Amino acid sequence: PEFFGDVARVDAKIWPFVDVEPRRYRLRIVNGSQSRFYNLPFATVLQGDLFAPLPEELRGRVDVVVANTPYVPSDMVELMPSEAKDHEPLHTLDGGPDGLVLLRRIAADAGDWLRPGGVVLIEISASQYDAARDAFATAGLVTSARIDPDGTSVILGQRPDS
């Protein structure tokens, strides 16, 4: 990918989107190329758990993984605004004891799917950066982060070139 400030331009031939939530998966299929979720007419939508539904021929060839994982610690979900906690399935909000259960799973497997130089980006809380960085480092990914003043934070893990 080429990075221009806050914008990344990626020239890709395959855009698979994976969702474990059957309801959301069906919406993406029904909406097809006019999907209000992605608005990418060339996207392929797959249902499954993380990397599991990806075609094997993508292993080691993925340029970018963007994951929208739950990152709220389990004991903090109840404190969330009612518009979130009362209307979203719990598994889309609850990130486990420290909010990073799925991030760790993605970090552990991403290196097998990313091409050398490929990146994975995941939104986190600024307070989770050290633990997220450690998870990425354990997986052999080089990390950096973008932490905005409003508290929005994204951690980036890059597979080394060699």
Maximal CA-CA distance, the chain: 47
Give tens-digit pLDDT for 14-54. Answer: 566 666 665 554 444 444 444 444 445 556 666 778 888 88
Q: With 0.85 as the threshold, say if the pTM is over it.
A: no
Mean pLDDT lowest for which of 2-11, 74-83, 132-141, 147-156? 2-11
Length of the chain: 162
User: What are phi and psi for residue 128, nearest 5 degrees?
Assistant: -95, 0
What integer is the mean pLDDT of 116-123?
Answer: 92
Residue 70 corresponds to which tokens in the numbers above? Answer: 């739950």
**pLDDT given at position 34:** 40
Burial (CB < 10 A; 0-12, 13-18, 19+), residue 95, is buried
Asked whether 72 and 99 are in contact (CB, 8 A), the reply is yes
